[in-house]
Amino acid sequence: MVKARKYVFQKQFEGLPKETDLKLVEEELPPIKDGEFLAEAVFLSVDPYMRAYAPQLPLGSTFIGSQVAKVIESKNSSFPVGQYIVGNSFGWRTHTISDGKPTQAGQLTAWLIPDPEGLPLSYSLGVLGMPGNTAYFGFLEICRPKSGETVVVTGAAGAVGSIVGQIAKIKGCTVIGIAGSEEKGKWLVDELKFDRFINYKDKDFEKKLKAATPKGVDCYFDNVGGEISTQIINRMNKFGRISVCGSISGYNDKEKARGMRFWWHPVQNYYFFTFLAGAVQFAVVSQQLKMEGFIVHRWLDRWFEGIKQNKQWIKEGKLKYRESVTEGFDNMFKAFVDMLQGGNTGKAIVKV
């Protein structure tokens, strides 16, 4: 008998998640049946979507998440013993029995990790997995960047943002990264070769944004939403494109923001006070912007194209990648909350 440990969702989050909202429990797993396999977690991912989607998660269920796992027993020839897999919907648990079939909604539950070619297996939860594909498809397909354009990315030192900025550099753009500490900014500029960095916590953010974008902004990859995004969208050039990826600045809010704020909008050296049009809408209309939200699974049919290209760029030295690794399954919650508060640079990972 194998004993699995798992985190059960006990109490709906209010504001920043509390440790008592989840409960770490042990369960005995039954023997596997024909068509099934048993996998043991090696690396687990902590991601912002876990906070964003928690309100839709039934209490009593295993907390959501992906992992890299090793197949340790198998009665399914597609998942042989010894293979490493991505357990896409396994959740926060040490051992999982699966049949590997897609969910009713068509989502893949598990897949074999393509040859990592010497790269760490944990990359399958980051640059060679969901966040890497979020950057690859969400930026290229929605922003459609052109060489010479100015790109702004928020959440720039995180799993998705750090890749978006580097892809924008590969495409010949000028890149301004926005993140929450000077140390992160140094990494973005010195190592990832972003052109400029602005700390969104800086009281002079608006002034610095203006100085950093003398030609305006053509593409904005939005990971954070809120006031910072409003300011960036109001710097955009005619026919600019906004890829709305996430809005982490609001995920822990107890009350969701509603309504519009007033904003001064610069148009050809004039300022209009946008009493009626609202903060973002006026910029979208007057600059004829395209703003599109997406969920990365839209590109499930091209999933391995993104992984292959990102791997290629890493091998060519064009894409640098970093992880913030927390040791121990017992520290899952700590790693999760730490990531929500900006403790990670690059991808936040837990090593069992």
Ligand X SMILES: NC(=O)C1=CN([C@@H]2O[C@H](COP(=O)(O)OP(=O)(O)OC[C@H]3O[C@@H](n4cnc5c(N)ncnc54)[C@H](OP(=O)(O)O)[C@@H]3O)[C@@H](O)[C@H]2O)C=CC1
Cα distance between residue 161 and residue 322, in whole Å: 12
> Contact between 287 and ligand X (CB under 6 A)?
no
CA distances from 151 to 147, 233, 310 (A): 10, 11, 19
Q: Does 52 bind ligand C/C=C/C(C)=O (CB under 6 A)?
A: yes
Shortest reach from residue 162's CB to ligand X, in Å: 8
Can you tell me whether residue 132 is helix, strand or coil?
Answer: helix
Tell me, rounded to whole angstroms, the distance of Cα 48 from its chain centroid: 7
168 binds ligand C/C=C/C(C)=O (CB under 6 A): no
| Distance in Å from the first CA to the final CA of the chain | 20
Query: Is-contact 46 126, C-beta < 8 A?
Result: no
Identify the three-state secondary structure at position 131. Answer: helix
Q: Is 48 in the site for ligand C/C=C/C(C)=O (CB under 6 A)?
A: yes
Looking at residues 287 to 316 of the shown chain, list those that interact with ligand C/C=C/C(C)=O (rule: CB under 6 A): 295-296
Number of residues that bind ligand X (CB under 6 A): 31
Shortest CB 136 distance to ligand X, Å: 11
296 binds ligand X, rule: CB under 6 A? yes
Count how many Cα atoms sit within 13 Å of the Cα of residue 61 in the half-sphere of its side chain: 13
The rounded distance, in Å, linking the Cα atoms of 313 and 317 is: 6
Is there binding between residue 100 and ligand X (CB under 6 A)? no
- Position with the least CB separation from ligand C/C=C/C(C)=O: 49
Residue 157 binds ligand X, judged by CB under 6 A: yes
Work out what residue 165 binds among ligand X, ligand C/C=C/C(C)=O, none; the CB cut-off runs from 5 to 8 Å by kind.
none
Pick from 2, 27, 29, 49 the residue near ligand C/C=C/C(C)=O by CB under 6 A.
49
Residue pointed to by tokens 């395209």: 290
Residue type, 20: T
Q: Which is nearer to ligand X, 74 or 345 (CB)?
A: 345
Closer CB to ligand C/C=C/C(C)=O, 52 or 57, in the complex: 52
Smallest distance from ligand X to CB 296, Å: 4
Identify the CA nearest to 152 among candidates 210, 97, 107, 102. Answer: 210
Using alpha carbons, select from 81, 78, 79, 100 the residue that is nearest to residue 89. Answer: 100
Q: What angle do CA 132, 134, 135 make, to 5 degrees?
A: 65
Query: Which window, 14-22, 246-254, 267-275, 305-313, contacts ligand X (CB under 6 A)?
Result: 246-254
Query: In the complex, what is the shortest distance from the CB of residue 318 to ligand C/C=C/C(C)=O, in angstroms, rounded to a whole number?
Result: 25
Binding residues for ligand C/C=C/C(C)=O (CB under 6 A): 48-49, 52, 246, 295-296
